[in-house]
Structure 1
């Protein structure tokens, strides 16, 4: 994850850059701190989070509240080392595509403490290829697989869906396989099909809502949290009535993805982040 312009106090603050920084800052929120809303808006809470990170993780006596492309604050955020304030020179990748990101074997990600090292390394690799945060991908898979990350986990409602992102039979067929073959793969091997699925998405997936919508309802990717997915009187609404949190007869993207966002928050906590 990289940015093209400075983010923070009195900075350019391009929406896509701010979103990337908000995602990275959320890795360092304490147990009692709510996650920053990943909305692409650099408000007081985001600036404050940058200042706190610079002061506590980098040891800056005079934090400026700005994240510069290629600067020390961005490198530290990218390292994923929650308790290591300054990434060591030899722990930094020199990849042209993703400069200054720590090697996959050392980098910490959401839910990384709950999966084997080869699985985590592959998630980091394919996330870079997809230009997606591994935290978001891991959290979506945690939700879809009931936190098991098992390739053979089946949909409890009997839809026929299986695996890390609950591949439907029709989806599996479109990817050149079937659910039986997917269920017999290792979780690490099944990630190839997770990557293949997301490669078919035409829009960049910048938020946890985008990633989940790419799985649940691709047409809603990039529409925002308030976009209405289903309305009362429609079959889709009746089938997903439990998603309408405020029972106003409308199910929004934010409501549908609320449980997945909770998985993101959980995955960044001690015992899960690793």
Structure 2
């Protein structure tokens, strides 16, 4: 649960290290629609997020956009892997001890600030405190196999199940969908099972079918929106935030009417993303992250 090499501007940027940094930075970012794509690639947005964290949270006078294995930036960021952030500033979720940091021209921070950062702890994920250890570990495993953020997957499952994580929960609108990602009857058939069998499974066993379903889109699910679109409407993966999914007067609109936040008769990606984003934010709060 540690990076092995430097990440960021002029860093070595091994893909696994970059992925861990992107997942961690997303737990700190406050602004809606600025969550990073967890794509294992260092681009302008990832470097910008590193610099913003250094400047806004750690008060670096001159952010360098680089995370060193034993540097102050990673010492601070690694705390987000094992603890939920407990306070907020304008731009980031953070920790009380970080708020006390004062700007220093040398970009050096007292070691005492990090004395409470655990070094050997099991990775915590969004909503991990609300599921069994076996479920959590399987989500971490399949997320790695699918190249997606476990936080994003858990946020989507939390939304789809009304925060119950029940493998037998049914769609309230009567679509026939069931389970962790609301498998539709035709989807279940494609996966060589059926909704009756799915709802009788344990949550841990049903994750095998979650993996099987998402495997079709492996390599395309980098953002929170991408992961949720794979469930809701796969043809919308990678679409802009103003993309219209459903219009009033269609069956699909009625089945998802709760997503029409401004009641304008249209459901757009921004509205869908807002709802799932709130699930992500809730999932990394104390009492939920685990």
| Residue 137 (structure 1) shift | 0.3
TM score, norm. by length of structure 2: 0.70
Alignment counterpart, residue 38 of structure 1, candidates 30, 35, 38: 35
Q: Which has the larger radius of gyration?
A: 2
Q: What's 1:151 paired with?
A: 167
TM score, norm. by length of structure 1: 0.74
1:21-54 Cα deviation digits (max 9, x unpaired) = 554223246xxx5567225635977633244555
Matched, 1:214 2:230: yes
1:113-141 Cα deviation digits (max 9, x unpaired) = 11111110110011011111000000100
Q: Residues 1-274 of structure 1: matches in 2 within 5 Å?
A: 6-7=7-8, 21=21, 23-28=23-28, 37-38=34-35, 41=45, 47-51=51-55, 64=63, 66-68=65-67, 73=73, 77=77, 80-82=81-83, 88=119, 91=120, 106-201=122-217, 203-231=219-247, 236-237=252-253, 239-274=255-290
Alpha-carbon RMSD? 3.7
Residue pair 2:245, 2:267 contacting (<8 A) in 1 also: yes
| Residue 219 (structure 1) shift | 0.5
Paired positions, count: 247
* Distance in 2 separating the partners of 1:198 and 1:146: 20
Residue pair 1:151, 1:163 contacting (<8 A) in 2 also: yes
Residue pair 1:27, 1:82 contacting (<8 A) in 2 also: no
* Structure 1 residues not aligned, in runs of 5+: 56-60, 92-101
* Structure 2 residues not aligned, in runs of 5+: 38-44, 85-113
Distance 1:234 1:70, change over 3 A: farther
* Distance in 1 separating the partners of 2:50 and 2:68: 17
